[in-house]
Amino acid sequence: MSTTPADVLKMCKDHDVKCIDFKFMDFPGLWQHFTVPVSELSAESFEDGFGFDGSSIRGWKGIEESDMLIMPDPATAMIDPFNAATTLSLVCNVVDPITKEKYTRDPRNVALKAESYLKSTGIGDKSFFGPELEFFILDDARFSTAAQHGYFYLDSEEGRWNSGREENLDESGYSHNLAYKPRHKEGYFPVPPTDKFQDLRTEMMLIMLECGIQVETQHHEVATAGQAEIDMRFDTLTHVADKCLLFKYIVKNVALRHGKTVTFMPKPIFGDNGSGMHVHQSIWSGGKPIFAGNGYAGLSEMALHYIGGLLRHARALCAFTNPTTNSYKRLVPGFEAPVNLAYSQRNRSACCRIPMYSSSPKAKRIEWRCPDPSANPYLAFAAMLMAGLDGIQNKIDPGQALDKNIYDLPAEEAKQIKKVPASLEEALEALAEDHEFLLHGDVFTQDVIDGWISYKTSAEVTALRLRPHPHEFELYFDI
């Protein structure tokens, strides 16, 4: 049952709400917000919106187009679990105040247009996405760059490197290091006391449930230093993207309550596994799954063509699904992340996996394993859907499945398999060359594509290219 403006106003009254917090997205993928007294919210607010200054929002157009409106979505209403004053949170779309058209660089609007485009094709009426976000829970995170220095320093009570550290000093100064710190790449799934964050992850999970995120499981991940995963139940594209942002908000704030910090960086720690965001996806029509069939791994012809679209456009997709320079520290051939553009049932060494846990047609889906949690979920999910739809519309053949451990293939055979880009710069170049499929139905506009490439190139690729890297001093200082 959908929530109406009247329902939201009733929630405010029933919970004695004091404030309304409006959340919206910047271009790269972080929530922004501002707050008004509850007296400012009325039924008309959902049609008239609230004005704000968009001139300083990352990736948006300049000061000459800074006046913007946010339009609250009543379906996203919830009581914020972290504010001292009782606050009702609403996720918003951004609208041009003059034309009243949806702002093209608002990522949520892109996601909504992708869902509308799916319906217009007649292929299906719902697209379901199930992302698996991984992250690190840390005790210390320090970093700084300037003309004469650049460094980062991370620490965690669980970090294997602390196995010899003096800890828990008593009154006499004697150290009690209680050990039980996961070895590198052996954090999947130890019980406490090696897993030191069971209670913290459970608290995160329970708050997610209170806020309307249906959680399936939580567990320690592979890496040392508190790597974690909490899996939410799949939902329709825009709704699950909303939940990704709420997920991050909850995880970071619960960690802060306990004197911890969290990062969703794909590769914050050298020599151990990075954090991915595997994305399960399927399309339904009239209440029936269209990915189930009698083909390979129980897939329909449409599902195989959807995979064909993902594989064909994979290098361009990486500009949205792996959108940071740090993303490509994780996507390195021969290491833990899937970089090979192939598909296979059960096989986690391929970029595209078909899960085989259940024979039920309702469970039939594909899992795209390249993405990471630095992605803007609205743009990433919309781009994947558009690639898959292009595959279905053009009957793109995905080729033969590769049911082998790709990591162990002979060098000559491995060379024949195409791979994801090796850098953000390569991914942006691929997007510049291959984005026509994203423009269908005006889902991604040319302005969005150009703006994304321009922002990412100047703010990230060039910024990193200009700066010395700390490891370069290890390699070259005495040259």
3-state secondary structure 366-435: EEECCCCCCCCHHHHHHHHHHHHHHHHHCCCCCCCCCCCCHHHCCHHHHHCCCECCCCHHHHHHHHHHCC
User: Whose CA is closest to 24, among 65, 4, 53, 2?
Assistant: 53
Query: Is 229 among the residues known to form the active site?
Result: yes
Q: List own/partner pairs for 177-183 with CB under 8 A and 24 or more apart.
A: 181/157, 181/224, 182/158, 182/220, 182/223, 182/224, 183/224
Find which of 1-10, 61-70, 202-211 is predicted with most confidence, using mean pLDDT: 202-211
* 367 counts as catalytic: yes
Three-state secondary-structure class, residue 145: strand
Contact (Cβ atoms closer than 8 angstroms) between residue 201 and residue 218: yes
Is 171 an annotated catalytic residue? no
Neighbours of 3 (CB within 10 A): 15
Q: Tell me: pLDDT of 62 over 70.
A: no
Alpha helix (H) ranges present in 258-369? 301-312, 314-321, 327-330
Kindly report the backbone phi and psi dihedral angles of residue 20, in degrees, each rounded to the nearest multiple of 5, phi listed first: -115, 125
Tens-digit pLDDT profile for residues 148-184: 999 999 999 999 999 999 888 788 888 888 899 999 9
pLDDT digits (tens, 9 = 90+) for 424-469: 999 999 999 999 999 999 999 999 999 999 999 999 999 999 999 9
Q: Mean pLDDT, to the nearest integer, of 43-68?
A: 84
pLDDT digits (tens, 9 = 90+) for 377-419: 999 999 999 999 999 999 999 999 987 777 677 777 777 889 9
The pLDDT, as a whole number, for residue 413 is: 78
Q: How crowded is residue 14: how many other Cβ atoms within 10 Å of its Cβ? A: 9
Of 73, 132, 231, 425, which is the active-site residue?
Answer: 132
> With the C-alpha atoms ordered 208, 212, 216, 221, is the resulting torsion angle positive or negative?
negative
SS3 231: strand
Residue 83 exposed, middle or buried by CB count within 10 Å (0-12, 13-18, 19+)? middle
Bigger pLDDT: 334 or 380?
Answer: 380
Catalytic-residue membership of 315: no
Share of the chain above pLDDT 70, in %: 99
Q: What is d(CA 53, CA 233) in angstroms, rounded to the nearest whole number?
A: 35
**SS3 for 65-111, per residue?**
HCEEEEEECHHHCEECCCCCCCEEEEEEEEECCCCCCECCCCHHHHH
Does 209 have pLDDT greater than 90? yes
* Residues 6+ away with beta carbon under 8 Å from 1: none
- Mean pLDDT of the chain, nearest integer: 94
Exposure string (b/e) for 395-430, b if CB count within 10 Å is 16 or more? ebebeebbeeebeebeeeeeeebebbbebbbbbbbb
Please, which pLDDT band fits residue 115 given cuts at 50, 70 and 90? very high
471 is catalytic: no
Q: Which of 108, 278, 280, 353 is catalytic?
A: 278
- Give the relative orientation of helices 107-121 and 237-257 as an angle to the nearest 10 degrees: 150
Q: Phi and psi (nearest 5°) for 106?
A: -80, 115
Asked, as a colleague might, if the bond just before 5 is cis with ω within 30 of 0, I would say no
195, 229, 235, 425: the active-site residue: 229
The CA distance from 81 to 89, in Å, is 10
Rounded-to-integer distance, Cα 70 and Cα 93, Å: 6
CA gap 276, 329 in Å, rounded: 12
- Quick check: 348 pLDDT over 80? no
Is 158 in the active site?
no
The answer to whether the CB of 271 falls within 8 A of the CB of 184 is yes
Q: Is 64 a catalytic residue?
A: no
Kindly give the residue spans of alpha helices, DSSP state H, lying in 96-218: 107-121, 198-210
Burial of residue 85 (CB within 10 Å: 0-12, 13-18, 19+) is exposed
Q: What is the mean pLDDT of residues 367-383?
A: 97
Q: Which of 10-24, 222-236, 332-346, 442-456 has the lowest mean pLDDT?
A: 332-346
Task: Give the contacts of 479 (CB within 8 A, at least 6 positions apart).
Answer: none
DSSP, collapsed to helix, strand or coil, labels residue 21 as strand
Q: Which of 198-212, 300-314, 395-409, 451-465 has the lowest mean pLDDT?
A: 395-409
Q: By the 8 A CB rule, do 254 and 246 touch?
A: no
- Residue of 134, 157, 372, 460 with catalytic role: 134
Marked catalytic residue, from 40, 47, 48, 53: 53
pLDDT (0 to 100) of residue 171: 81
Catalytic residue among 26, 106, 157, 367: 367
Q: What is the pLDDT of residue 63?
A: 54
pTM of the predicted structure, to 2 decimals: 0.95
What pLDDT does residue 36 have?
A: 97
Q: Tens digit of pLDDT for each residue in 267-285?
A: 999 999 999 999 999 999 9
The one catalytic residue among 242, 369, 372, 390: 369
- The better pLDDT of the pair 97, 44 is held by 44
| Per-residue confidence band for 2, with pLDDT thresholds at 50, 70 and 90 | low
